Structure formats: structure tokens, C-alpha cells
Structure 1
Amino acid sequence: MAAPRVNTERAAFRRRTAGIAVLSAAALAAPLLVSGCGGGPPRTPPGRPPVTTPAPATTVGLRLPLNAYLPTPGEQATGEYLVYRVEQRCMRGYGFRYLPRLSSKYIGTTVATWHEYESRRYGISERTIAARRGYHLSGRPSTTRAPQAATTLPVPEREVLSGRAPDGRRLTTPVQGKAVPDGGCTGLAERAVYGDRAAEAQRGYDLVARLRSEAFARSRSDPRVSAANGKWSSCMRGKGFAYRDPDAAIGDPRWNLLSAGPSRAEVAVATADIACKLRTNLLGVNFAVEAEYENAAIAAHPQELAEVRTHKAAETERLPGLMRRYDRAPRPL
């Protein structure tokens, strides 16, 4: 998940990724459980067998059913990068040197960041990472985010980028003798990359994100997940650590996750955490239960999701041509 550019990162990208990447179960579940999503076992849709519980050594590579209706991490990152490139060209047309450090490395590092967050969907799941960093996230290379924050731009540049005056009104005054496009350079870039049906497609992605979030929240209170947490907790007690579930371990107030590195105690707990997840198959149980809730959601929204898949296919088809067209920096001013 790309780190946001303050005030200018595309709202569409933020919404699209909102239901996809989570640091831990608590990070996603906490704001969702207040919505009234009930627990209890899921109702498996007619004609759909229960999901077979895998026994994975990591969550990396596991694909939940609703993932099929979203762009891949690479496609998301490529689309974001292309929007930045078109913004850059547009801004140059008004005499502004915008995002001078942007390069296609943005795509790879953004995908790597996304995978790290997704690997923690049920808490940490990578043994080697736990032994090296405990619960700490990896340091983010500077190329994982746009190298220029909007808040650092002079007001004239911000106006052209957003198409809005400081008071929020639409910018109607020409700049450098040229009219500013609707939505500024950001609006122009989103239309260039995502087409005229971008808003319609985004509504579909919003639906998928909501269904994913609801399925995740419901799976948290499913008795099968609760039972897996109990087995994990018992395993941890056997190693000398008292936590009710993996979220409690990562949320231990002794850990300063914003520090440069983990303490010995944090690494010891994190490595025990992974060992107990593998012993109790907590990862596999969590995945299977969440997948059942997602399958039920898919069965309940066949027409809407078919439309989402159509938009996704069209977007996927457009990306190679857009990369050929826009994957280069504009000429220097």
C-alpha cells in the first residue's frame, strides 16, 4: 500500500486499498465491529462446499475469493504510478517541476509494501521476519512514496494540481494563459488512466472493499477462529507468554513499533507467536473461515460483482498501452 501524499493522493486509491491491506487483525477489526456485523457461523451458499482448511507456513500467496474482483497489487501500483506520471506532465505544461524523483521503481517497492501488510492479515506470519524484526515493519525506501508532499508545494502549484482555489472553489482563472482542467492535473490524470467510467468502476471496488471488510470483521467473532485463538494462547503459555490472541501480542505496550528496531523480548515473543501459529494452524483456520464469509458475500451480489469483474478486465487490458505511452519523465523545464 503506497504511503499517502498529504492532501493529493488519489481518493480512489485510498478507498480501493482500504479493505485490502491490514497491519494486524485488530487494526482492521476495531473500527468495523462497531458497525453491528454479527458473529456466528457463516451460512455456506447452496452448491458451494465449505472451504478446505489449508495448512500454510505463511499467508503470503493465499488468495481470498474476493481478491478476484480487485486489481492485483501490481496493477494497483502501476495505475497509481501512471497517474503520477500524467500529473507530472500536466504540471509541466503550467511551468511546474512536479515529482522530480518519481521513477518506475515506485511500482516494485509499493507492491513489496502491500505484500508485507497483507502477510500480517492475521498477525505476523513470516518466521524469518519475526526473528529479525519482531513485530516491526520493514523500513520503507523513499521510492515507495511520491517524493514530494502536496503541503510543501506553493499555493499556485496546489491550485493547478487540484483544480481548486484555497477556499475550495473551482479554479477558473487561466494559469500561464491556459485553462486548468476539471479537477486539476489530478482529475486529468485519473481520467487518462482509468477512463470515462472510472467513477462507476470505483463504486464497484468500493463494494468489494466493503464486503471484504465485513467478511473479515465477521470472521473475527466466528467460534472456529475463537477456538484457534484459544489453542494459540495455550501454546504461548507453554512458552512462558500470556496473551489471549495474536493481536494482544503485537499490541503489547512494551513494544515501541516506531523505534528503529525490536527489543530482544519482542523478538522472543514474535518468534514464539509464529511457532504457535504453525503448531495450531491458526493461519489456515483464519483463512478458511474468512473465505467462507467472502463466498457467501459473492453469492449475495452476483450482478454487481460481475460488473466489477468487467471493469477490472478492461482496466487490466489498458495498463500495458498506458505504460508504453506515459512511462517516461517529461522533458526538463
Structure 2
Amino acid sequence: MNRYTTPVRLAAALALCLVAAGCSDDKQPGAASDALTVNSPPVVGAAPQLDLLDGKVFPVEAYKLTPEKTRQLNNAQTVLANKCLARFGFPPSLREVPASQPMDASNSRRYGITDGAVAAKYGYHQPGGSDGQTSRPPAEPVTKELSLVLYGAPDPTGTGKQTGTAANGAEIPAGGCMGESKSKLSADAYERVDPGQFASDIELAAGKQADADRRVTGKFAEWSACMKTDGFDYSDPFQPLDGEILKSSLAQPVPSALEIRTAVADVECKQKVNLVGVWFTVEAAYEEKLIEKNQERLADIKKAIDAMLQSAAGVTG
């Protein structure tokens, strides 16, 4: 099993990209290092009965750019960038991202499908094709002139300090209006403190260690035995997505009857053995251990994120 190569899990990771910052694609999830390793399984109390992760917050989220935090920052940047564009004679050219997704949307498939009503209607398909990500499309066509003012002149030096001149003779700020608005939100300071999104490294490392924990693998075995009583032979909850049996159905816009039956049994078995409750409890405990291990570094990261959010609140109210 590898839940970190499924489209849903990757979507959650990609949602962490800050405003106009780029995402590096060369970092391996949960890269091994002492800072990201829990030396002995953490002690946990009794796991609550959980069917869904609705309302549950993982410990590391205080130190990372969640989709909701990113939306707030993006919208503040939009307001600032549109004001900047007005100085160069352009109309507002970026739209704000509405709060159309619940705050925990990125966790909805963290442990595979867990919503029985969704499984009965969509199987393993995403309702409406949503992947939980938000986007910010331009409100106006991006002409060459608009692009220059919005993003700045090409920067062959790689220093991020390249400037240019707009058609009206005014000097364009480094990085264009997007770069100027990032600076006003203190995003540059955040990127210096946390260039590699360290909290997401912790999240992924804790997840991989939790997946191998005997308390979780024991629940996989119970889930697998439950699935066999319904005629399905899978050893873990991500095999239905990885195997050949449902491959054709998953590639189609509408799920097959077999896919729906499998997904419904999957959810029911998760609920019977409390797989979600145990998995969440164990994974959260691994995160807490790694947070404790990296407390000083994470405190600096949280301070930088809080500064950005405070700046954003001052822009959007």
C-alpha cells in the first residue's frame, strides 16, 4: 500500500503551495532523517469511534499552510495585486477564491473513502470531480502587457530583483504586482524561514510511520477479514484503487456496480473495526512526537505563518 501516490493524497500536498510561490516536485514524501523519525511507537489512549474525519484537526496543522489558510493569503494577495494593477491603468484582473470547500476537505480521503452515502452514489469517484483544491483564475484575459505588470519582467539572474517598465513609463516592482503583494504579506520572510514546507514533511513522515505501526496494521487485518465476508480480497484499504479489478471502472466517468459495492463494503468494514478512529489516534500521536522533537524550528515557522495571516486579515478585514 502507498497512500502517498494516490491522486487524493497528492492533491492535499499540492494545496500547501503558498500564494504565488512555486512547489518543488523533487522532494520525496516522508524523507528519512533523524528529525523525522520517531524512535519508539508513541503511547496512545483509547481510540474514539470515528467514521469520518469531519472536524478532526491533526496536531501539525498549526504549523502548516492548510488549504483554508492558503485561501486567506491568496485572497489578500488578490486584493493587493488588483490595487497595484490599478496604478498601471489595468482593471481588477484577479478573482478571490470563495470558501466553497469545508476546512477539512483535504482530509476527506486521507484514509480512503469513509462516507457511506458518497460510496453508495459515487463508489471511489470524487463527487463532481472535485479534488479539494482551490484555484484563482484571472478575471481578465492575460495580455502580454498585463502579464508583465502582474508577474514582472523575466529574471534570468534568479535573484528575484529584476524590474521592468510598463507601457506608461512607470517602473514595475520586482516580481510584478504579485511579487509586491507577497512582500506586503510578509510571505518572503516566511519562505526564508520555511522554504521546504517542513510541517508537510512531518505530516508525511508521521503518516508513513503510523501506517507501519502494528496498531494500524492490526486494524488493516481486521478490515481485510471483514471485506472477505463480503467477497472482496484486499489486504489494505488502498488496494481497491491500486489493483486491476476496478482499474477500468475508475477510469470511467461513472462507477460500475462492482465499484459501488466494493466502496460500500469498504466503508462499512472501516466502521465495524473502527479503522478511522485508531488510524487517526496513532497518526496524531506520531505527529505530536515529531513536533516535540522539532519544537524550536516549528515555533519559528508558526510565528511566520501567524504574521502572514495577521497581514492578510488587515487587508481583507
Question: 2-side partners of 1:307 and 1:9: how far apart?
Answer: 20
> Aligned match of 2:21 in 5, 8, 11?
11
Change (3 A) 1:247 1:200: same
Aligned residue runs from structure 1 range 225-304, under 5 A: 225-253=216-244, 254-255=246-247, 256-257=249-250, 259-304=252-297
- Contact residue 77 and residue 181 of structure 2 kept, 8 A: yes
Question: Once the two structures are superposed, what CA deviation does each residue of 1:72-100 show, in whole Å capped at 9, x if it has no partner?
Answer: 54332111122123223323433445646
Paired with 1:89 and 1:4, the residues of 2 have a C-alpha distance of: 28
Alignment of 1:59 with 2:53, yes or no, is yes
C-alpha distance in 1 between matches for 2:136 and 2:314: 23
Q: C-alpha distance in 2, partners of 1:183/1:241?
A: 54
Q: Is the CA contact 2:151–2:179 (under 8 Å) kept in the aligned structure 1?
A: yes
Q: Secondary structure at the match of 1:246?
A: coil
Q: Secondary structure at the match of 1:75?
A: helix
1 CA distance for matches of 2:98 and 2:91? Answer: 21
- The alpha-carbon deviation at position 123 of structure 1 amounts to 0.8
Is contact 2:210–2:282 with CA below 8 Å preserved after alignment? yes
Q: 1:318 aligns with which of 298, 311, 316?
A: 311
**Which secondary structure state, in structure 1, belongs to the residue aligned with residue 127 of structure 2?**
coil
Could you tell me which residue of structure 1 aligns to residue 98 of structure 2? 107
- Aligned residue type for 1:234: A
- After superposition, the Cα gap between the structure-2 partners of 1:262 and 1:68, relative to the gap in structure 1 and judged at 3 Å, is same
Structure 2 residue aligned with 1:146? 136
SS in 2 for 1:108: coil
1:274 Cα deviation from its structure 2 partner: 0.5
Q: Is the 8 A contact 2:223 2:269 kept in 1?
A: yes
1:221 to 212, 222, 227: 212
TM-fit CA distance, 1:144? 4.1
Residue in 1 aligned with 2:150? 161
Measured against aligned partners, the alpha-carbon deviations of 1:231-262 in whole angstroms (never above 9, x if no partner) come to: 11111111111112111113344345464332
Matched residue pairs, number? 297
Percent sequence identity over matched residues? 26
Instruction: Provide the residue aligned with 1:25 in structure 2.
Output: none
CA distance in 1, matches of 2:139, 2:223: 43
- Kept in 2, the 8 Å contact 1:37–1:214? The answer is no
Q: Write the distance in 2 (CA, Å) between the matches of 1:86 and 1:40.
A: 41
Q: Which runs of 5+ in 1 are unaligned?
A: 19-27, 325-333
TM-score (norm 1): 0.75
C-alpha contact (below 8 Å) 1:56/1:283 kept by paired residues: yes
Q: 1:32 aligns with which of 29, 32, 49?
A: 29
Q: CA deviation at 1:272?
A: 0.7
Deviation at 1:181, TM superposition (A): 0.8
Q: Counterpart of 2:285 in structure 1: which amino acid?
A: E
Structure 2 alignment gaps of length 5 or more: 1-10
Q: CA deviation at 1:51?
A: 4.6
Instruction: Answer whether contact 2:86 2:92 (CA < 8 A) is retained.
Output: yes
Structure 2 distance, partners of 1:61, 1:77, is 18
Give 1:219 deviation, angstroms. 1.6
Which letter does structure 1 place at the counterpart of 2:232? Answer: F
- Distance in 2 between the 1:155 and 1:166 partners? 16
8 Å CA contact retained: 1:134, 1:271: yes
